[in-house]
Amino acid sequence: MSIHIVALGNEGDAFHQDNRPSGLIRTYLGRSPLVSGDESSLLLNAAGTVARPVFTEYQASAFGNVKLVVHDCPVWDIFDSDWYTSRNLIGSADIIVIKYNVNDKFSFHEVKDNYIPVIKRALNSVPVIIAAVGTRQNEELPCTCPLCTSDRGSCVSTTEGIQLAKELGATYLELPCRDDFYIGKYFGGVLEYFMIQALNQKTSEKMKKRKMSSSFHGIRPPQLEQPEKMPVLKAEASHYNADLNSLLLCCQCVDVVFFHPDLQGVVEAHKIVLCAVSHVFMLLFNVKSPTDIQDASIVRTTQDLFAISRDTALAGGSAQPSGNPPLRVVVKDALFCACLADILRFIYSGAFQWEQLEEDIRRKLKDSGDVSNVIEKVKCILKTPGKINCLRNCKTYQARKPLWFYNTSLKFFLNKPMLADVVFEIQGATVPAHRAILVARCEVMAAMFNGNYMEAKSVLIPVYGVSKETFLSFLEYLYTDSCCPAGIFQAMCLLICAEMYQVSRLQHICELFIVTQLQSMPSRELASMNLDIVDLLRKAKFHHSDCLSTWLLHFIATNYLIFSQKPEFQDLSVEERSFVEKHRWPSNLYLRQLAEYRKYIHSRKCRCLVM
């Protein structure tokens, strides 16, 4: 017998990330006298997890011979990256532990806004423990102004934690420190109580099954075997970072060049990427006006660092496919211009690797004062209007932002004429776009815009065979590396568009979406839905989606009694029908045994034991 515990949330202290102790769950497993398994074995199990990479897995033995399996996920981004696996783990949990640090309001809001809605949907009489970890370091009341952000670093109050526990009907615990009393006796006592309750419930259910099986004499009911395991569709890793880095290196679709009058070197870049990162570049390229930004420091930074040059005699940069020469920008600061190539590489890599940037600048500028001056200018460029510069501590910011923070900012330019240099014509409507993003994210479009094709020299490009809504969803993926189809039909249309433009990762995302939607449907909805599953299979095969077509065949076989009654079932080919009949569930043998058992029950030979 086993107990499955799922732990969610980050209990680490955001202000002391360098030397923080072991996590709550691991500390409990290492100290509890009821749990066997030394520290080295726990570490081995945690590092050797391959089947479920979303969670860190711990395995131990409790109460002597009870297997204890704990899955711990402290980061929401990792949890959300494979939410199909995450949802299944939460659904199979016997106990759920939610943890956050009282000194890190970010971890509390991550629990409240992200984890809690998922748990509410999957919760089914499973006990929940909410653990508030740490001693509050700042008890002052935060500002209540709706526009103020000064309370982000303040403590999470006891009232907030209790209110969150009431929403879930959970048990609320405060653990000021991680010693033997709070971890072993306080937290451990509550956790072990729920473990005993889970064991009692499982034992009771097991006894009921034994009584049911022993209550029949003579012919026993047939045992329904489990359906075959469905094929696993694997997601493809994102290459968003590499795509935009390649764009900077290959210098395609360049529309802006930077130079210093006293220097020979010229640095090429792309307006759309720079504007997605910085309001300074938005102001420089007239995407926004000073009135729109309403921040004097950003306006001052733009004026101090850059100036637009109208001198066409200056060298540097090649003409765009549309024939317009790149915009020439003078960098007024010679030191900043000398490091501009490293700064652009930092920006195109996601603008979070501050230590690498500082190391690159230090190689070129030997004086530490010059290095600090250039770093401060980079921080001013990345400043958010109306807010105090939040990039003062580079190490903290690097730990908090390990991902691209402007992939969602690129959505600001989606289907907008700002900086657009190409227009797609679809179903009588026009959709503006940006060649740089399209070339970086789609190899087919890169070949189309840079080869000897009509599209390379044309601004208006017609698109056939795709609806406007589907093409906009396709562009949304290229700009933001994510998409959310409205339903199975829209996902299939997007899959067809992705196959047409050879974007394999988007194909896999659509496949996983279709699979998840079909698996979440109850049998009654499957029987009544208007979706033609065989037509879906045909499209998947025609557009070379082999993984999806194989999965759909297994899905039809697993739900044989439902789909065999539908008229489109007759449209299956001989080979497909043979596969479905071979792997059908329930099998013909089980149905025959069930008919014989029912016949026996209703015959005179079998008398009721009660009456």
Domains, the chain, ranges and CATH?
2-37+53-137+154-210 (3.40.50.300), 251-311+323-382 (3.30.710), 409-500 (3.30.710.10), 521-610 (no CATH)
What residues of the chain score a pLDDT lower than 70?
13-22, 33-54, 83, 123, 138-153, 211-219, 263-265, 311-323, 387-408, 604-611
pLDDT of residue 37: 56
Give the other-Cβ count within 10 Å of 335's Cβ: 18
Residues 433-482 have pLDDT tens digits of 999 999 999 999 999 988 788 888 889 999 999 999 999 999 999 999 99
d(CA 363, CA 367): 10
Closest listed residue to residue 555, CA positions, set 511, 519, 599? 519
pLDDT of residue 377: 93
d(CA 21, CA 455): 58
Core vs surface per residue 145-180: b (16+ CB within 10 A) or e: eeeeeeeeebbbbeebbeebbeebebbbbbbeebee
pLDDT of residue 271: 93
Closest listed residue to residue 536, CA positions, set 593, 490, 605, 596? 490
d(CA 572, CA 582): 14
pLDDT of residue 451: 78
Closest listed residue to residue 133, CA positions, set 22, 5, 4, 55? 22
- pTM exceeds cut of 0.75: no
d(CA 280, CA 274): 9
d(CA 579, CA 419): 53
Sequence-distant (≥ 6) Cβ neighbours of residue 297 within 8 angstroms = 380, 383
Element (H, E) at 536: helix 533-542
d(CA 27, CA 282): 49
Single-letter residue type at 602:
H
Give the other-Cβ count within 10 Å of 572's Cβ: 20
Q: How many helices (H) and strands (E) does the chain have?
A: 30, 14
Provide the strand spans (E) within 292-367: 306-309, 327-331
Tokens 């009907």 locate to 169
